Chains A and B, each alone.
Chain A
């Protein structure tokens, strides 16, 4: 391997390391944004002026279904990353595709849940409790949506250009983001849904 090529590889490896580190810092800033929403929810959750409390509004079965879907999708995302690092284009497309489908079903169930609440007259403008519920869960849903847009774009990318180190690097950032959103959902499931019934 020529000196020039070795320097280029070092250069590329250092750049990748920096990008991963920078993405982690970004994830921490995202976590802080969610922290504000959780704090706001904690302060406002009992201010259900003119609406039933969470225990009468939330559907635990649906929330549990969503939790299992997201956990499974994190698992399939992990398998996809193993395939990607191995250079297996077909498996990567398959398992990322399943992850995207699971993500879409998560969104679908969540939108159904929101639609039901709005249909019953419980909107985000009703009171502080519902405002903080819809914005917290909705912000998570928006993040999931962006991850899915990113994921679908990546699927096209991989199909067109195959797997190389740049694309694998981008995929590891996406999978980090996906796992992060899964962890945030666990917190939402616990603090919003489970604790409503305590």
Chain B
């Protein structure tokens, strides 16, 4: 009976190592603080109604940012732990992490950064910005949107679950290559957590991809042909087309690995006819296009940022579109370059090597288009623009080292070395992450109505930029010296340690950069009365999202605009913005169905991990029942009458006028020293008040 109810669960699954104890206590404390705060403010009903069950893509976008941002800190902590171990573990010292623990950390670091940070933040941007850019009120399927978000959250909970129950995560690398990831060599539950966290959130991603494609192709404003769309929308469209192409491959490959582990099949085993190379091929057929999935929206963001802050349209729009499509298309054909060394032979390697190098052509075209946009422009060096400039050099290094690695004989020397690690971090951090930061600082005023502190913003870009080079230049050198990746210990005679120490120092500078970004946000709120933006268009931008209020109302536009050119808002500003004609607006209702299905998906995965068959069955039946119940529900929309829309618009105008009267004009953006002074005086003030 006990076995039936609890499966493989027993006392040994509870936290008993220093890191699982620390992790569970941290999460518990964090959770208690959040729950306590919400209870204290009595906001549970509000939270449920306004945020958790919402289908508004703007709110779902912000929730993606919060979750993705939190996971960025979690993955960053993994990175610092790796940096520290590698700086310490030379010769006689074995560092502070066991070999097993180290393997789990770099596996978790990779999974978290790709699946739970990059994909989440990208989905946050697409959710918030794309409907506004194309003149839509919502996505094509608001229900799929909330379902996709909560499936992602189920994945987030699943990947962190091992802290509480299980005690171990997967230790086979972020892609869990077979046969190491099979039952024989990874018998623990950690690998099963890998399977289900990725599987559940992967399905959410596929649904999101379908949703975004439907939205971009079918819900653009009248007159906005494909070749008049903003470039962020183009980048998102191509990225999502790739998502629906490759995520089914990942889903099925993970299922096959799951069957090997759970049902004893022989897809990727070393016996009974299994073929581990099949796994390698399948997983990289997903894995390579995935990295282009995450970079294309950043390319779109950079196109918007460069164009706005050079006060020029993009240099060659059609070439930029062709470049984005070209990168997407070629990236589907190059996966073998991840395993040149695994016996495909010179003929096959050459084909994939050449194909990989071909990606350099559209990528370079894009880079020169952005630089060409700056040429003869009136450049403003705002924080988003600085993130773009930081991107140009770091990403160029990443791209060029990628071309280098695409040459099979070179790759035979550098495969799985730290050179490779430095290459993909240059592109992932310099490209994907800096694009996200540029987008965040660019669209922050749109989402909150407050401009960000520019001074501290500049410091944060500088810290990240310098920190990145100090951290990763040594890794390039180490790779060329022959250092392998994923080393938890190395001999002193190799001479690696000074390089690892320098890399660790770089990581501390990056940590400073992260701290400065957080300070930037807090400082901006502190100077709200100076930095508030009531125009909705603080940068004098070109695309439609800036024609709405900041933040936009629930329905985005009082009247959907009609578009006749590219850079539609710029055109509107030249010809004169018309007053809207108010009509009834149909809005989708909130729903909790996404939460229920995702919760059941989580329990199903948990049941699979711990072999609790009853839980799996109950969860699957539950999901089917909830899905069918939803189809019986016809009340999916509500209407805002035209008169109320007009009233809301007028109220906002009045509110803006009142805010303008309160505006503080003379100050400067506060600097770091000022910020520290303000925080110290607030802290002392608290102390004095509590002493009385």
Interface residues of A (CB under 8 A from B): 4, 11, 14, 17-19, 21-22, 25-26, 28-30, 32-33, 36-37, 39-40, 43-44, 47-50, 124-129, 131-132, 134-135, 149, 153, 157, 166, 170
Tell me, rounded to whole Å, the shortest Cβ–Cβ distance linking A147 to chain B: 13
Asked if A29 and B265 make an inter-chain contact with CB atoms under 8 angstroms apart, the answer reads no
Sample of 8 A–B contacts (CB below 8 Å):
A18-B219, A19-B141, A40-B267, A44-B275, A44-B278, A125-B266, A131-B266, A153-B628
Residue among A29, A49, A135 having the largest count of chain B Cβ atoms under 10 Å: A29
Asked if B211 and A22 make an inter-chain contact with CB atoms under 8 angstroms apart, the answer reads yes
A170 to B264, CA, bound (A): 38
Residues of B within 8 A of A44 (CB): 267, 273-275, 278
Known: A22-B214, A25-B213. A50 touches B272 (CB 8 A): yes
A126 to B265, CA, bound (A): 7
A33 to B251, CA, bound (A): 7
Asked if B275 and A131 make an inter-chain contact with CB atoms under 8 angstroms apart, the answer reads no
Q: Which of B253-268 contact A (CB under 8 A)?
A: 253, 256, 259, 263-267
Asked if B278 and A135 make an inter-chain contact with CB atoms under 8 angstroms apart, the answer reads no
A124 to B251, CA, bound (A): 20
B206, B214, B624: the one within 8 Å of A18 (CB): B214
Residues of A within 8 A of B271 (CB): 49
Residues of A within 8 A of B251 (CB): 33
Asked if B272 and A153 make an inter-chain contact with CB atoms under 8 angstroms apart, the answer reads no
Residues of A within 8 A of B210 (CB): 22, 25-26, 29
A148 to B141, CA, bound (A): 24
Confirm or deny: B385 has a beta carbon within 8 angstroms of a beta carbon on chain A.
Answer: no
| Nearest chain B residue, comparing its CB with the CB of A8 | B586
| Nearest chain A residue, comparing its CB with the CB of B249 | A36
Asked if A131 and B267 make an inter-chain contact with CB atoms under 8 angstroms apart, the answer reads yes
| Nearest chain A residue, comparing its CB with the CB of B279 | A40
Query: Which of B72-80, B240-248, B667-675 lies at the interface?
Result: B240-248
Asked if A30 and B586 make an inter-chain contact with CB atoms under 8 angstroms apart, the answer reads no
Confirm or deny: B282 has a beta carbon within 8 angstroms of a beta carbon on chain A.
Answer: yes
A138 to B259, CA, bound (A): 12
Residues of A within 8 A of B265 (CB): 124-125, 128, 131, 134-135
Other than A14-B218, A47-B266, give 8 A-B pairs with Cβ distance below 8 A: A11-B586, A18-B141, A32-B245, A50-B272, A126-B266, A128-B265, A131-B274, A132-B267
Residue among A17, A36, A134 having the largest count of chain B Cβ atoms under 10 Å: A36
Interface residues of B (CB under 8 A from A): 140-141, 206, 210-211, 213-214, 217-219, 244-245, 247-249, 251-253, 256, 259, 263-267, 269, 271-275, 278, 282, 584, 586, 624, 628, 631-632, 634
Asked if B275 and A25 make an inter-chain contact with CB atoms under 8 angstroms apart, the answer reads no
Known: A33-B252, A135-B259. A17 touches B218 (CB 8 A): yes
Asked if B214 and A48 make an inter-chain contact with CB atoms under 8 angstroms apart, the answer reads no
Residues of A within 8 A of B253 (CB): 36
A28 to B214, CA, bound (A): 14
Residues of B within 8 A of A25 (CB): 210, 213-214, 244
Across the A-B interface, give the 5 residue pairs with the lowest CB-CB distance, nearest first. A47-B273, A128-B273, A125-B264, A131-B265, A32-B248
Asked if B267 and A128 make an inter-chain contact with CB atoms under 8 angstroms apart, the answer reads yes
Residue among A18, A40, A131, A134 having the largest count of chain B Cβ atoms under 10 Å: A131
Residues of A within 8 A of B213 (CB): 22, 25
Residue among B218, B265, B269 having the largest count of chain A Cβ atoms under 10 Å: B265
A21, A153, A166: the one within 8 Å of B634 (CB): A166
B141, B266, B275: the one within 8 Å of A22 (CB): B141
A165 to B140, CA, bound (A): 19
| Nearest chain B residue, comparing its CB with the CB of A160 | B632
A29 to B273, CA, bound (A): 28
Known: A44-B275, A47-B273, A131-B265. A18 touches B248 (CB 8 A): no
Residues of B within 8 A of A40 (CB): 256, 267, 278, 282
Residues of B within 8 A of A50 (CB): 272
Asked if B219 and A43 make an inter-chain contact with CB atoms under 8 angstroms apart, the answer reads no
Asked if B275 and A43 make an inter-chain contact with CB atoms under 8 angstroms apart, the answer reads yes
Residues of A within 8 A of B218 (CB): 14, 17-18, 21
Asked if A29 and B206 make an inter-chain contact with CB atoms under 8 angstroms apart, the answer reads yes
Asked if A30 and B248 make an inter-chain contact with CB atoms under 8 angstroms apart, the answer reads yes
Tell me, rounded to whole Å, the shortest Cβ–Cβ distance linking A180 to chain B: 14
A55 to B206, CA, bound (A): 38
A192 to B81, CA, bound (A): 50
A158 to B278, CA, bound (A): 46
Known: A22-B141, A47-B273, A127-B272. A36 touches B214 (CB 8 A): no
Known: A129-B273, A170-B631. A21 touches B248 (CB 8 A): no
Residues of B within 8 A of A39 (CB): 282
Asked if B267 and A29 make an inter-chain contact with CB atoms under 8 angstroms apart, the answer reads no
Asked if B245 and A124 make an inter-chain contact with CB atoms under 8 angstroms apart, the answer reads no
A26 to B251, CA, bound (A): 14
A4, A48, A124, A170: the one within 8 Å of B273 (CB): A48
A36, A129, A153: the one within 8 Å of B252 (CB): A36
Asked if B274 and A128 make an inter-chain contact with CB atoms under 8 angstroms apart, the answer reads yes
Asked if A36 and B282 make an inter-chain contact with CB atoms under 8 angstroms apart, the answer reads yes
B244, B586, B631: the one within 8 Å of A29 (CB): B244
Asked if B275 and A135 make an inter-chain contact with CB atoms under 8 angstroms apart, the answer reads no
Residues of B within 8 A of A33 (CB): 248-249, 251-252
